[in-house]
Structure 1
């Protein structure tokens, strides 16, 4: 359930460098100890280039 919170997603992406692709988001989340809920949410997001955390939140909104 915690994986479905925007603040939880951003917490697990702390330290990521933008621009970043979905693969980069997944790698950073894994480094930060994300659970399966968070990783599953990231995997469902559009495979595109994210320029900022705001872009990530838009992608998150498209799958949630």
Structure 2
């Protein structure tokens, strides 16, 4: 699996409106052309609702 960077995550979630559900962010990431590994990390984050980009970063990268 390719490494995902915080910059990749920011690009994938460009245009996100917060608070946002995980499903909404996954859909947005796909429509923004995000790499499959990034979409998978977001899907498996275990968080259902995000209040902002910092919450997403913590959920996706917090376990690394």
Q: TM-score, normalised by structure 1?
A: 0.85
Q: What residue is the counterpart of 2:45 in the other structure? A: 45
Unaligned runs of 5+ in 2: none
1:1-64 → structure 2 map (5 Å cutoff): 1-2=2-3, 4-64=4-64
Residues 25-62 of structure 1 show CA distances to partners (whole Å, capped at 9, x for unaligned) of: 10100110112111111111123210110111111123
Q: Name segments (4+ residues, structure 1) moved above 4 Å.
A: none
Unaligned runs of 5+ in 1: none
Q: Is the 8 A contact 2:47 2:59 kept in 1?
A: no
Which protein has the bigger strand share?
Answer: 2
> How many residue pairs end up in the alignment?
63
Which protein has the bigger helix share?
Answer: 1
> Root-mean-square deviation (CA), in Å?
1.4
